[in-house]
Amino acid sequence: MNDSTQALERLATSDYKYGFVTDIEQETVPPGLNEDVIRLISAKKEEPEWLLEWRLEAFRYWLTQPEPNWVRVHYPPIDFQAISYYAAPKQKGDGPKSLDEIDPELRRTYEKLGIPLAEQAMLAGVAVDAVFDSVSVATSYKGKLAEKGIIFCSFSEAVREHPELVKKYLGTVVPYRDNFYATLNSAVFSDGSFVYIPPGVRCPMELSTYFRINASNTGQFERTLIIADEGAYVSYLEGCTAPMRDENQLHAAVVELVALDNASIKYSTVQNWYPGDAQGRGGIYNFVTKRGLCKGRDSKISWTQVETGSAITWKYPSCILRGENSVGEFYSVAMTRDYQQADTGTKMIHIGKNTRSTIVSKGISSGHGQNAYRGLVKILPTAENARNHSQCDSLLMGDQCGAHTFPYIEVQNPTAQVEHEASTSKISEDQLFYCKQRGISAEDAVSLIVNGFCKEVFKELPMEFAVEAQKLIELKLEGSVG
Amino acid sequence: MLEIRNLHATVEGREILNGIDLTIRPGEVHAIMGPNGSGKSTLANVIAGRDGYVVTEGEIRFDGKNLLEMAPETRACEGLFLAFQYPVEIPGVANLYFLKAAVNAVRKYRNEPPVDAMDFWELIHERMELVQMADSMLKRSVNEGFSGGEKKRNEVFQMTVLQPRFAVLDETDSGLDIDALKVVADGVNALRGPERGFLVITHYQRLLDYIVPDYVHVLVNGRIVRSGDKSLALELEEQGYALYNEEPGRARRVAA
Ligand SMILES: Nc1ncnc2c1ncn2[C@@H]1O[C@H](COP(=O)(O)OP(=O)(O)O)[C@@H](O)[C@H]1O
Ligand SMILES: [Mg+2]
């Protein structure tokens, strides 16, 4: 074997840089799941009766459901009674009223993560809603957004302040019976973000949430609901990290997006949960249900995701294209190394006339990493002239990793045009040598080529996120110098 | 500046180069001509340090340093450039970005700070004019979807931006029309100077009308069978390589 192949095989040893634990007093509900725990969570959040009932219904339904058994991902059974379903930093007195009141220890955590929580956020044009374990700690720039009638707050706050909106849309895109983990989330969700953009308003800044799992043995079950009213536009960013722990942690979020007539929602994720160590111990189980409903005509929902973390990622951000001429997009980079497993993709459900969808999926596997693209394109009989284009490219580094593509296409209307392209490649010796001959080191060459491979997806990300995504990929490729 | 002594090299266990001696001094342009499969590209690849090309005997010194001990990227940073016979495509990586990465890699090696954005921009534009390259080429992915001629032009463009001390051009003229050929020559001639050396591999004499070499060598069956001045190229054009190509034994006698 020659140098550069060895270099490639030696990828994947850089340390997880977000693995610190914040030393903070936690208020944690003892592990276990029963109706009392759900009542407790609901009570802590001072929720109205209807929401508690909804949670309980979900829980009772969940009890009847078997745990899913997926083909391509492997993990030991999860003991749902060993997980704590609520953890919050203990507050001194009442909750923080402004950014300055946030626990300094917590703020340092966010600083280490590089989250522009305070004034920098304004400069960067980013409004941040930070979710630390189960409680949303601070939401910046609420004032500025409120001027435009935009609501951007924690889910709990939305339940208190805008119950009519929450009640109207919660569970309309992802019903609590949707799947095992969405059902569990519906029963125990602790916090998350809520966004409402009123008609005709273009949100003037990127809205951003950072999730961080800090407490051990806790699951994170956040719930996000974004509604773009007629003619509204919003771009939403979500970033995730978690400390290093030997045991696996469960993250089962639900995200629901609703776009009304002419509305457009762009949802970007950079997911860097702790992936476990090089032997496959620990790491986050990232079982997430994300779905957008293009409810109105000429509406658009665009998902962009860069998935580099988690021991197991299982998620299919999807679009239900109900409105005429509505557009769904899915741009994804999923990178696995060591013993990471990713099974990700999308579902594009075409219901309305002239609906269009685009899927661009880039999978990168190294080490023993396993990467599967699973996508469904479904054209219902009502979807006259529906169009879909899917492109799934896999890049393999080394010969112990795997890439798998499972495109499911169901066409029930003869006017539909569905195209699917797939490719699997390796970084070629020729490319590496060409770069090296120009003075570029093997390591830089690999990251250059990989970034080039991801280009079509990265260019969909807002600028600052694209830079972060590129850095994350580089970090993940570290240790490749031959 | 480049001294090759008794160089033997194998590819996949087969001996391709069997005893090459060649000395190129600063300021000189040497041309290597020879039939297909005679080992011209192999020589270029051995000089550049490509994996899979195994030197079994002999040495190459670059400014006195042992070239064969250096990694390919180190050779490049030391000022060695290879214009590829078959330039490689790198999808998604913009030409400009790639070039900047290369320039900065060399600068880093020399403990210099990354190139100033304005300086780089000026240099790029000056060089683009020299090789008559369209602005749009900068944004396009490295060599992706380029025509054969565009690829070759891009190699010369990279060379003029990187300004190596020693450049090997491997059949950069093949498949080019006369205008494109002149562009290649302009690129080389612009860099030509007392400090720089060139090894120009070509199949045809016509390139050498524009890049006038100081020496011409004939490579057959992995050996230099004859060396001369520029008139040798003309002679080859007329007579072909048949004279040298009958069998290796005879070629060796000619060389000795
Ligand atoms: N990478 C390679 N793998 C296998 N054989 C090779 C390789 N490179 C060169 N060769 C062989 O070495 C010989 C010389 O090739 P090359 O150096 O490309 O010749 P030229 O450039 O003079 O046409 C040919 O027989 C060719 O098949
Ligand atoms: Mg050749």
Average pLDDT score, chain A: 80
Whether A452 and B92 lie within 8 Å, measured CB to CB:
yes
- The first and second tokens of residue A316, run together, are 């299919």
Residue A408 pLDDT exceeds 90: yes
Average pLDDT over residues A261-266: 98
Instruction: Test A431 with B84 for CB contact under 8 angstroms.
Output: no
Going by their DSSP bridges, the two strands B197-201 and B90-94 should be labelled as unpaired
How much is the pLDDT for A479? Answer: 47
Do A203 and A197 contact (CB within 8 A), yes or no? yes
**Number of cross-chain residue pairs from A and B with Cβ atoms under 8 Å apart:** 81
| Distance (Å) from CA B227 to ligand 2 centroid | 19
Question: What average pLDDT does range A290-308 have in this prediction?
Answer: 95
Q: How far apart are CA A469 and CA A4, in angstroms?
A: 24
- The DSSP code sequence of A429-443 is HHHHHHHHHTT--HH
What pLDDT is attached to residue B253? 39
**How much distance in Å is there from the Cα of B59 to the middle of ligand 2?**
21
Mean pLDDT for A237-264 is 79
* Structure token digits, residue B191: 């860099």
* For ligand 1, mutation pick of B11, B18, B204 (most atoms within 8 Å of CB): B11
In one-letter notation, the amino acid at residue A6 is Q
Distance (Å) from CA A6 to ligand 1 centroid: 24
The answer to whether A441 and B101 have CB atoms below 8 angstroms apart is no
The residues near A112 (Cβ < 8 Å, ≥ 6 apart) are A18, A20
Pocket test of ligand 1: the residue of B42, B203, B219 to mutate, having most ligand atoms within 8 Å of its CB, is B42
Measured CA to CA, the distance from residue B250 to residue A200 in angstroms comes to 86
For the cut 60, the answer to whether the pLDDT of residue B81 exceeds it is: yes
The pLDDT tens digits for A162-204 are 999 999 999 999 999 999 999 999 999 987 889 999 999 999 8
pLDDT of A195-232, one tens digit each?
Answer: 999 999 999 888 877 555 545 445 678 899 999 999 99
* Cross-chain residue pair A435–B158, CB shorter than 8 Å: no
B11 lines ligand 1 (CB under 6 A): yes
The pick from B7, B41, B170 for probing ligand 1's pocket by mutation, whose C-beta has the most ligand atoms within 8 angstroms, reads B41
Smallest CA-to-CA distance from A464 within A185, A120, A92 is with A120
The β-bridge partners of A418 are: A388
Distance from the B155 Cα atom to the nearest Cα atom in chain A, whole angstroms: 11
Report residue A53 as tokens: 């009932």
* Residue A4, C-beta contacts closer than 8 angstroms, at least 6 positions apart: A429, A432, A433, A436, A442, A482, B51
**Token pair of B26, please?**
């600063």
Vertex A17, ends A15 and A23: CA angle to 5°? 125
Q: With a cut of 0.90, is the ipTM above it?
A: yes
**Contact flag A451-B93 (C-beta cutoff 8 Å):** yes
Residue owning tokens 């190229």 = B233
**Both structure tokens of B72:** 């390919």
More confident position, B87 or B204: B87
What DSSP string runs through A239-295?
EEE----SSEEEE--EEEEEE-TT-EEEEEEEE------TTS-SEEEEEEEEEEEE-
Residue ranges of alpha helices (H) inside A1-112 are 3-9, 35-44, 49-63, 104-112
Q: Which of A269-278, A451-460, B144-153 has the lowest mean pLDDT?
A: A269-278
Q: How far apart are CA B256 and CA B247, in angstroms?
A: 15
Residues A311-340, mean pLDDT to the nearest whole number: 89
The gap from C-alpha B66 to its chain's centroid, in whole angstroms, comes to 19
The Å distance, Cα B41 to ligand 1 centre, comes to 7
* Best mean pLDDT range from A129-133, A348-352, A374-378: A348-352
Residue B203 has pLDDT above 70, yes or no: yes
pLDDT tens digits, B29-52: 999 999 889 999 999 999 999 999
**How far is the alpha carbon of B204 from chain A, nearest alpha carbon, in Å?**
25
State the ligand closest to the CA atom of B45: 1
Tell me which long-range contacts A121-126 makes (C-beta under 8 A, separation of at least 24): A124/A464, A125/A204, A125/A205, A125/A206, A126/A205, A126/A206, A126/A207, A126/A208, A126/A237, A126/A464
Q: How far is the CA of B38 from the centre of ligand 1 (A)?
A: 8
User: Is A451–B73 a contact, with Cβ atoms under 8 angstroms apart?
Assistant: no
The answer to whether the beta carbons of residues A40 and A28 sit under 8 Å apart is no
**pLDDT tens, residue by residue, A88-120:** 655 444 444 455 555 565 556 556 555 544 433
CA pair distance A273, B146, nearest whole angstrom: 40
Question: How far is it, in rounded angstroms, from Cα B207 to Cα B200?
Answer: 9
Average pLDDT in the A66-70 region? Answer: 78
409-468 in chain A: CB under 8 A from chain B: 428-431, 433-442, 444, 448-449, 451-456
Residue type, A175: P
Tokens 């961080």 locate to A212
Average pLDDT over residues A361-370: 84
Closest C-alpha to ligand 1, atom 1: B11
Q: Which two tokens stand for residue A303?
A: 């998902």
The set of residues, in sequence order, having a beta carbon less than 8 Å from that of A147 and lying 6+ positions away, is none
